[in-house]
Amino acid sequence: MSLTTAHSVVAPSSNAKLIAGTIIIAYALISIVPLLWIFATSFKTPPDSIAYPPKIVFQPSIEGYCNLFTTRTRQTPEYINSLGPATGVCDATVRKRNMVIAGPSNFLPRFVNSLIIAFGSTFCAVFLGTLSAYGFSRFKVPLADDLLFFILSTRFMPPIAVAIPIYLMYREIGLSDTALGMILLYTAVNVSLAVWLLKGFIDEIPREYEEAAMIDGYTRLQAFWRTVLPQATTGIAATAIFCLIFAWNEYAFAALLTSGTAQTAPPFIPTIIGEGGQDWPAVAAGTTIFLVPILVFTILLRKQLLRGITFGAVRK
Amino acid sequence: MAEIRVQNLRKAFGAFVAVQDSNFVVEDGEFFVMLGPSGCGKTTTLRMIAGLELPTGGKILLGGEDVTMRRARERDIAFVFQLFALYPHMNVRRNIGFPLLAQGMPSAEIRSRVEETARLLRIDHLLDKSVSGLAGGDRQRVALGRAIVRRPKCFLMDEPLGTLDTEFRDLMVHELRELHNRIHATTVYVTHDQMEAMSMADKIAVMNHGVIEQFGTPREIYDRPATMFVADFIGSPPMNFLKFGGGLAKGAKEIVVQGAKVAVPEVREDIAPADMALGIRPEHIRFDDGSKLRGAIYGTEYLGTTQIVAVETADGIIKARVPAGIHLSPGEQVGLALSSARLSLFEKGTGRAVRTAMYDRAAEARHG
């Protein structure tokens, strides 16, 4: 009789762990390398950024960031020498390329537009989404299933398919190239996602909580605010991140409907390429800065996302 | 505190009738239990008293005031849910104080009331703990604390012990009754567990299919069941039924079951010939070789002081509770003697109990 050793049927074997680990590391590398490359490029000088073979080790420079935030004019060396000493690091950097700073670029206002429009629309979508999801979850809404399907169906169509009609409408009612117009548009696109995600989360919260609060002397709105909302934070955080990522990254509507005052960063960044040669470090710098808010937002909400629904005082 | 009066209460969800014309009165300070299998309408009745559901018809009076259509928060009642519904984002102190906060009570007063309540329930050492870390029994106490802190008109409890372990459950049954004896709060308690109902209730309503089958004290319900459903639902093992045919005449004192004559309490009404059932509690059966009612031992279940003996008769298996000392072996033929004064008679068609001398005392008690 051969000796058999007991093995767990639940715990993965060491081979399985090794394979899983390898796959995860490979996937992580594939995802993170482009980001690292962009980050590295943003600190290269323009010649380093197009060097062949590509430089892994290089002398870091903030030229890309200087170029991103400024507009510059090319001058003769005589003129530059006639100027006083450089007023700052950026000034000194661009003078080496025979340029002087003419003024700030449009990047900062475009970035601010992005912040206002993305966070504004995320707030609206999550706010409206939470209220509608609560309604669909708790009340007998006539034709609820059809309404929910209708809300979902707005998601079926590629947004760009309605871009032209929206462009014409917006031009007619004066919403073209305004932050308000973009907030409304992104809210409209995101609210369907928000309703569906949040309905799932709110369905999970037992209605006994509100009932207890309503018996204890609160109105439904107070009960919602004090008992449902604190428990839905996980879902709200997750939904907000999804909405924000969409609004932040959105390019097609932004390119079509904004051109000046309300232009967001995504359509702006590619225009850097056209200004005085292919300034890859400036593009990479813009992209790097563009990544920061979404990164910070996700890290801030990480706790809510991870906390999960595991802490219930309700026994099922 | 106040009495609760429910008149012709009815609730339908579409074509499904959850509660049919319920009528009962819970006296001030009484511990009232609604007992029945799941889906019998007991929770729906409770939720209507609470104001969480609106009735389709009928009236609910709280302390003489008609509250039928009033909002839950305007009824001044407290509700303990089966799942406790403790707010996970608040600690024990804030959970208990939550109803007082709604009244806009100053925080110093909330503090003292919460502490007083916690002492009453012996959970004052847990006040600053998070509710998520509490054991089942302590969660239950916190839920009770949130209910009693406001000193409402009445307490409504929906299977509050349903999710507890057996050990905790027995402890909490005791504690709940003790708490009730101390604060004398009108309580409506819903459960499907007859042991909880029998050990805590002043009055019980047994419900089935939206209808109150019987309303009375635990003793009345056990000893003088009004319907076959009640007889079958209450008692472990439940009441045995032996079928017999023919009508009954007023004044009859004997029936014939399986060819044997059985003395029964004097019948008080005339019953037209129909399928009938004789109801016998297991503890009212003795073994007596002289009896003509016979059966063979099928199996025994030893319980220490008593044993439950299953006896196969011509009309199926009936169970007897006899002293544990008697030795019986399967297949053995035995005669069954029944305690005549404690037998119930039922009309099989309607399930209704026939009026007999046994019910006289009940009627006297109700009118006296």
Question: Which amino acid is it at B32?
Answer: F
Q: How many other β-carbons are positioned within 10 Å of the β-carbon of residue B133?
A: 13
Residues B340-365: b if buried by 16+ CB within 10 A, e if exposed: eebbbbbbeeebebbbbebbeebeee
pLDDT for position B241: 94
CB contact under 8 A, A314 and B77: no
Task: Please indicate, yes or no, whether residues A93 and A128 belong to a single structural domain of this protein.
Answer: no
Domain stop point among A72, A88, A105: A105
Domain positions in chain B are: 4-223, 228-367
User: How far apart are the CA of A218 and the nearest CA of chain B, in angstroms?
Assistant: 6
Closest residue in A to B138 (Cα–Cα): A313
CB contact under 8 A, A216 and B150: yes
Instruction: For the domain covering B4-223, report its CATH number.
Output: 3.40.50.300
Domain containing A85 equals: 46-105
Task: Please indicate, yes or no, whether residues A185 and A100 belong to a single structural domain of this protein.
Answer: no
Q: Which residues of B touch A (CB under 8 A)?
A: 50-52, 71-73, 75, 77-79, 81, 83-89, 98-99, 102-103, 131-132, 134, 136, 139, 146, 150, 163
Q: SS3 of B217, please?
A: coil
pLDDT at B316 > cutoff 70: yes
Residue with tokens 């009640």, as numbered in its chain: B230
Question: Which amino acid is it at B88?
Answer: P
The answer to whether A305 and A241 have CB atoms below 8 angstroms apart is yes
Query: What is the pTM (predicted TM-score) of this model?
Result: 0.78
Asked whether residue A215 is assigned to any structural domain, the reply reads: yes
CB contact under 8 A, B77 and A215: yes
Q: Which of B75, B85, B89 lies at the smallest CB-CB distance from A212?
A: B85
pLDDT for position A315: 35
> What was the ipTM of the complex prediction?
0.81
Residue B216 phi/psi, 5-degree rounding, is: 180, -175
User: How far apart are the CA of A199 and the nearest CA of chain B, in angstroms?
Assistant: 20
pLDDT at A312 > cutoff 60: no
Task: Please indicate, yes or no, whether residues A259 and A170 belong to a single structural domain of this protein.
Answer: yes
Domain stop point among A105, A136, A154: A105
Asked whether residue A25 is assigned to any structural domain, the reply reads: no
Q: Which chain B residues have a beta carbon less than 8 Å from that of A311?
A: 88, 132
Please state the domain count of chain A. Answer: 2
Q: What is the pLDDT of residues A21-50, one digit of tens each?
A: 999 999 999 999 999 999 999 999 888 888
CB contact under 8 A, B78 and A215: yes
CB contact under 8 A, B73 and A316: no
Task: Please indicate, yes or no, whether residues A209 and A68 belong to a single structural domain of this protein.
Answer: no
Query: Which whole number is the average pLDDT over B134-157?
Result: 88
The answer to whether A271 and A284 have CB atoms below 8 angstroms apart is no
Asked whether residue A185 is assigned to any structural domain, the reply reads: yes
Q: Which chain A residues have a beta carbon less than 8 Å from that of B81?
A: 208, 211-212
Task: Please indicate, yes or no, whether residues A88 and A198 belong to a single structural domain of this protein.
Answer: no
CB contact under 8 A, A214 and B139: no
pLDDT for position A3: 57
Q: What is the pLDDT of residues A203-242, one digit of tens each?
A: 988 888 999 999 998 999 999 999 999 988 888 988 898 8
d(CA B310, CA B321): 9
pLDDT at A5 > cutoff 80: no
Q: Which two tokens stand for residue A218?
A: 């609160």
Entry field: residues in chain B? 368
Q: Which two tokens stand for residue B140?
A: 């239950």
CB contact under 8 A, A315 and B84: yes
The CATH number for A303's domain is: 1.10.3720.10
Torsion angle, CA of A21/A25/A28/A29, rounded to 10 degrees?
A: -170
Query: How far from B109 is each of A213, A245, B105, B116, B151, CA to CA, in Å?
Result: 20, 48, 7, 11, 14
Question: What would be the CATH architecture of the domain defined by B228-367?
Answer: Beta Barrel (2.40)
Task: Please indicate, yes or no, whether residues A68 and A53 belong to a single structural domain of this protein.
Answer: yes
d(CA A147, CA B259): 68
In total, the C-beta contacts within 8 angstroms joining chain A to chain B are: 79
Among A216, A226, A233, A236, which would you mutate to test the B interface (most chain B Cβ atoms within 10 Å of its Cβ)? A216
pLDDT at A84 > cutoff 70: yes
pLDDT for position A256: 87
Query: Which whole number is the average pLDDT over B306-323?
Result: 92
Q: Which chain A residues have a beta carbon less than 8 Å from that of B71?
A: 214
User: How far apart are the CA of B211 and the nearest CA of chain A, in angstroms?
Assistant: 26
Query: Which whole number is the average pLDDT over B252-263?
Result: 88
Q: Which of A206, A217, A312 lies at the smallest CB-CB distance from B73?
A: A217
Task: Please indicate, yes or no, whether residues A113 and A204 belong to a single structural domain of this protein.
Answer: yes
Closest residue in B to A208 (Cα–Cα): B85
Task: Please indicate, yes or no, whether residues A183 and A69 belong to a single structural domain of this protein.
Answer: no
Q: Which of A215, A219, A313 lies at the smallest CB-CB distance from B84?
A: A313
Domain stop point among A105, A124, A139: A105
Task: Please indicate, yes or no, whether residues A78 and A183 belong to a single structural domain of this protein.
Answer: no
DSSP assignment of A165-220 equals HHHHHHHHHT-TT-HHHHHHHHHHHHHHHHHHHHHHHHHHS-THHHHHHHHTT--H
Closest residue in B to A222 (Cα–Cα): B102
pLDDT at B164 > cutoff 70: yes
Task: Please indicate, yes or no, whether residues A124 and A193 belong to a single structural domain of this protein.
Answer: yes
Task: Please indicate, yes or no, whether residues A127 and A159 belong to a single structural domain of this protein.
Answer: yes
